[in-house]
Amino acid sequence: MIEITPEKQKIIEKMAEKYGLSLVLLFGSQVKGKTHKESDYDIAYLADKKLSFEDEGRIIIDFAGIVGASDERLVNLTNVRKAGALLLKEIFDRHQIIFCSDRNAYDAYKIFAVKNFFESRPIFDLRDSLIEKYF
């Protein structure tokens, strides 16, 4: 978990407004507490519009400053709309809400993540059995 001071919260809110972000979540090792000196920061976002590659790069740089990452390469950005079933489940199983302007969207994606994972489960099971059988 990271501490979001009132100053950081204002910066995040301005950034969310600038890029049209309605949801920003921290997930992964930083939330689980399993970190080391070079641990990365996994950040998931939901935007109101499609962001350009350049915008995503600027968001990474901004978040590196907010979380105190020693290098921008330690910040990984994930678009919730593009994430697969396993990654969505990981994101919504354990996360820290950094910013949320639309609780309905948050709830809808959390429900979708669980539903999508369970609907995809037979495919994961088939994959696992084929790997076990042939490799």
Summarize pLDDT for 33-91 with one digit per residue, the tens.
Answer: 888 878 899 999 999 999 999 999 999 999 999 998 889 999 999 999 999 999 999 99
Cα separations in angstroms, 7 against 34, 75, 77: 26, 20, 22
The topology (CATH level 3) of 6-134 is Beta Polymerase; domain 2 (3.30.460)
Strands (E), the chain: 21-27, 41-47, 75-79, 95-100
pLDDT in tens, 95-130: 999 999 999 999 999 999 999 999 999 998 999 999
Which amino acid is located at 82 in the chain? K
Bridge partners (DSSP) listed for residue 95: 27
CB 64 within 8 A of CB 74: yes
